[in-house]
């Protein structure tokens, strides 16, 4: 057993307050108190000895049995043959006080909190690491430690050391549904989403919600945490509309959305209906403006246009999901957000492949795959 006799030296500067009265303390003595750690075997000569400022003092210490005394450092001292010499006494100090410095690659991505600032020889420091939403711990190293979930424990400390913490984006899958397929959204999509505790965005054409039951489904979706977005009043093309689009297709039906914390808009027909002049007005009116892409490359890449979603309707995918899996894999690797969009929900996958819908089986496959590779599910908190 190789326990350590800790020699604690505390220098108490005499007449400290006289410094404020013009008294020179440079020649005053300091009392040094020496004690052995009660948790280890052995003794250290306990005494109070006045030591002139700037001079040295030695103290005897003796381990018992097979225990050995080790240099615990501090106060500029050294340990030799059981004698600890404190050098050049100038200020209060205590040997054996180690620090663990923490270096974070970007503190905006998360935090790392250590239990206290100082540790003695042989202690283990614990660090709680907390990424913000959408980020995860990429790597933690230093001080010979190990990571268990969000807690990093150093090895037994033998000196001061540093721990480096790296965060990275997790990546995220968002799903949205367009138009007014409210019954299928509530009866079919919501149970699947709910099984993963996932929320989606439902972009609704207000003019199509023309029956009380459809309004009830809208309320239920919102009350269960989903986002309700604006999809124009009557699904008119933006690019070819001849009137005042903002007045006729946005503000005319705005009362429909008043109870849904409206923040988001999605173009009818995606990029096919885009208009530069109206785009600026839409961006001023909504926090996000979504388009969607209908072209998939085999490697999963799509257009780089902003706020883009990629369609997973049956008529677009037509049974070939490999580009979708590639896109989700890339999102996990790079920490990107993937936004996939569809319209209605069918039980039959064969029927979905003939139109702008997705079947229940394929919807579950997409969510399950994203979940299995560790993507966050649903919009970030800032969208709500």
Q: What is the pLDDT of residues 281-295, one digit of tens each?
A: 999 999 999 988 887
Q: Is 333 exposed, middle or buried (0-12, 13-18, 19+ CB in 10 A)?
A: exposed
| pLDDT-based confidence at residue 41 (cuts at 50, 70, 90) | very low
Read off φ and ψ for residue 151, nearest 5 degrees: -115, 125
pLDDT per residue over 163-182, tens digit each?
999 999 999 999 999 999 99
| pLDDT-based confidence at residue 64 (cuts at 50, 70, 90) | very low
- Rg of the chain over all Cα atoms, to the nearest angstrom: 34
Which are the contacts of 382, defined by CB distance < 8 A and separation ≥ 6? none
Q: Are 101 and 76 in contact (CB under 8 A)?
A: no
- For residue 291, give the nearest of 262, 313, 311 by alpha carbon: 311
Which are the contacts of 210, defined by CB distance < 8 A and separation ≥ 6? none
The gap from C-alpha 73 to its chain's centroid, in whole angstroms, comes to: 38
Q: What is the DSSP letter of 155?
A: P
- For residue 181, give the nearest of 346, 308, 350, 316 by alpha carbon: 346
Indicate if the pLDDT at residue 257 is higher than 80.
yes
Tokens 């929900």, located at residue = 345
pLDDT per residue over 320-331, tens digit each?
999 999 999 999
pLDDT per residue over 353-373, tens digit each?
888 999 999 999 999 999 999
- Looking at residues 121-144, what average pLDDT do you find? 95
pLDDT per residue over 81-121, tens digit each?
555 555 555 555 555 689 999 999 988 999 999 989 899 98
Q: Give the pLDDT of residue 72.
A: 46
Higher pLDDT, 338 or 55: 338
β-strands 172-179, 110-114 pairing: unpaired
Q: Are 202 and 226 in contact (CB under 8 A)?
A: yes
Q: Give the pLDDT of residue 376.
A: 96
Q: Give the pLDDT of residue 353.
A: 84
Q: Give the pLDDT of residue 14.
A: 29
Indicate if the pLDDT at residue 301 is higher than 80.
no
Cα(256)–Cα(208) distance, integer angstroms: 11
Cα(157)–Cα(99) distance, integer angstroms: 9
Cα(215)–Cα(221) distance, integer angstroms: 10
Indicate if the pLDDT at residue 40 is higher than 90.
no
pLDDT per residue over 186-195, tens digit each?
999 999 999 9
Q: Give the pLDDT of residue 110.
A: 95
Indicate if the pLDDT at residue 277 is higher than 60.
yes
> Helix 322-334 crosses helix 360-372 at what angle (to 10 degrees)?
30
| pLDDT-based confidence at residue 53 (cuts at 50, 70, 90) | low
Read off φ and ψ for residue 172, nearest 5 degrees: -150, 145
Indicate if the pLDDT at residue 60 is higher than 70.
no
Q: Give the pLDDT of residue 308.
A: 73
Rounded to the nearest 5 percent, the helix, strand and coil shares of the chain are: 25, 30, 45
Q: What's the mean pLDDT when you consider all of the chain?
A: 81
Q: Give the pLDDT of residue 77.
A: 60
- Looking at residues 38-67, what average pLDDT do you find? 47
- For residue 98, give the nearest of 34, 22, 12, 4 by alpha carbon: 4
Share of the chain above pLDDT 90, in %: 61
Cα(194)–Cα(190) distance, integer angstroms: 6
| pLDDT-based confidence at residue 6 (cuts at 50, 70, 90) | very low
Q: Give the pLDDT of residue 297.
A: 73
Give Dmax (Cα) for the chain.
97
Query: pTM for the full model?
Result: 0.72
Q: Give the pLDDT of residue 272.
A: 67
- For residue 165, give the nearest of 117, 124, 128, 133 by alpha carbon: 128
Task: Give me 311's structure tokens.
Answer: 């369609």
Q: Give the pLDDT of residue 184.
A: 96
β-strands 48-52, 29-36 pairing: antiparallel
């Amino acid at each position: 057993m190789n326990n350590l006799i800790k020699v604690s030296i505390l220098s108490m500067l005499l007449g400290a307050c006289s410094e404020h009265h013009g008294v020179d303390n440079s020649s005053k003595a300091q009392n040094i108190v020496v004690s052995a750690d009660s948790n280890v075997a052995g003794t250290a000569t306990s005494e109070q000895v006045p030591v002139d400022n700037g001079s040295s003092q030695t103290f005897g210490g003796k381990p018992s049995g097979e225990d050995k005394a080790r240099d615990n450092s501090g106060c500029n001292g050294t340990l030799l043959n059981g004698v600890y010499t404190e050098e050049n006494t100038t200020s209060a100090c205590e040997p054996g006080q180690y620090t663990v410095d923490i270096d974070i690659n970007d503190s905006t991505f998360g935090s790392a909190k250590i239990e206290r600032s100082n540790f003695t020889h042989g202690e283990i420091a614990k660090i709680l690491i907390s990424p913000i939403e959408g980020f995860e711990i990429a790597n933690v190293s230093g001080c010979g430690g190990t990571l268990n979930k969000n807690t990093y424990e150093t090895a037994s400390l033998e000196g001061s050391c540093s721990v480096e913490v790296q965060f990275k984006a997790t990546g995220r899958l968002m799903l949205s549904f367009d138009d007014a397929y409210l019954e299928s959204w509530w009866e079919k999509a919501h149970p699947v989403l709910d099984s993963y505790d996932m929320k989606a965005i439902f972009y609704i054409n207000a003019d199509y919600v023309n029956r009380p039951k459809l309004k009830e489904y809208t309320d239920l979706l919102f009350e269960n945490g989903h986002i309700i977005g604006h999809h124009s009043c009557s699904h008119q093309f933006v690019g070819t509309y001849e009137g005042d689009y903002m007045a006729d297709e946005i503000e005319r039906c705005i009362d429909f959305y008043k109870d849904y914390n409206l923040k988001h808009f999605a173009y009818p027909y995606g990029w096919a209906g885009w208009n530069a002049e109206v785009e600026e007005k839409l961006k001023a009116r909504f926090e996000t403006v979504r388009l969607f892409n209908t072209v998939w490359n085999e490697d999963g890449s799509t257009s780089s246009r902003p706020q883009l979603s990629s369609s997973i309707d049956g008529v677009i995918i037509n049974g070939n999901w490999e580009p979708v899996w590639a896109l989700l894999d890339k999102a996990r690797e790079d920490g990107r957000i993937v936004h996939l969009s569809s319209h209605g929900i069918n039980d039959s996958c064969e029927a979905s492949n003939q139109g702008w819908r997705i079947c229940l089986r394929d919807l579950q496959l997409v969510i399950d795959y994203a979940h299995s590779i560790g993507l966050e599910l649903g919009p970030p908190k800032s969208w709500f």
